[in-house]
Amino acid sequence: MDKLKIPFPPNPDIGINLDSQDEFIKNRGVNLEHYVAIPSPIGLKDRGDYRRTDQYDSISSNGMIYKKSGCFTGVIVSNSKRKTQGEGGIIDYSTARLLLPRFYNDQKEIHLAPGDRIFIKDIDVLVSNYQRMQYDPGNFDRAQFPIKCVEHLIDSRGLEYKEGVHFKIQDGYIEWIDGKDNPGIDPDTGKGRVYSIRYKYNAHWYITEIPNEVRVAQAFNADGEKVAERMQYSAIIQREYVYYNQNNDINKDHGREKLVRSIEEPKDPIDTIYEYEIKVDMNDIGEQDE
């Protein structure tokens, strides 16, 4: 007896709707500003130089120049904050995962790289930090991060100072008010007294890892045809921990776009009465004057 063959319908042609995935993220995310990292070449004469002999680099941070690339709607999940003591000091594990669509809000394609910065747009996400600082008479006192507001400030004598009464915040710095109490000079050291401060600053993140940077799958285009398209990818981000590893002047935009400043001319003319030949080439060393 012949076996009865049951016909099976063909497998359904299943595809991935990438636009729906983008929309899913956008409906549950916040606007984020993306600043791309560019290694700073300012002042370098050779790719392997460690010192910048040609020009003073005043716009880079952590050896990078940051340029705004665009704004996108993303979701930050699994945000954590944990600090542990290591041999070199405190190790910060404040990491999170960033879920993002394929395009910026202006439909330009997003491309991330480790070292890029991410800011939350439209609102200030204030977080607390504490540290020790030193009073600098006549100058602004700079904390590790740009200060938004000060919660407590106590000097080495146990005296406490209030924002708006003894000092004010100027572009993220502490500016002591003339004629008001301040920590002053320690007579034993001749330097400004040490004080402790707890303050709030606006948090931002660095891209530290991209687990799945290249994700490609077949999806349907507008004509209903299957084509290979790039999929969404996620990134591991870490909260800033060494923000002021840079040379910045007061009244500058902290961590965002800055203008290149040239070196100022010396105020005092160089005395050229005595002229000497200075040998700077390695080939000249050891040569005798004729």
Predicted pLDDT at 160: 96
Judge whether residue 196 has pLDDT over 90. Answer: yes
Amino acid found at 96: A
Structure confidence by residue, pLDDT tens digits, 114-144? 999 998 988 888 989 999 999 998 889 989 8
Judge whether residue 2 has pLDDT over 70. Answer: no
Judge whether residue 189 has pLDDT over 50. Answer: yes
Structure confidence by residue, pLDDT tens digits, 12-67? 766 678 888 899 888 888 999 999 999 888 777 777 766 655 554 445 666 788 89
Query: Looking at the DSSP assignment, which residues form a beta bridge with residue 236?
Result: 97, 209
Give me the mean pLDDT over the 219-226 stretch.
77
Give me the mean pLDDT over the 76-94 stretch.
64
Do β-strands 95-99 and 64-77 pair in parallel, antiparallel, or remain unpaired?
antiparallel
Query: How many helices and strands (H and E) does the chain possess?
Result: 1, 16
Q: What are phi and psi of 62, to 5 degrees?
A: 55, 30
Predicted pLDDT at 263: 43
Judge whether residue 89 has pLDDT over 80. Answer: no
Sorted by where each begins, the domain ranges of the chain are 8-125+203-284, 126-202
From its phi and psi, is residue 285 left (phi > 0), alpha (psi between -120 and 50) or beta?
beta
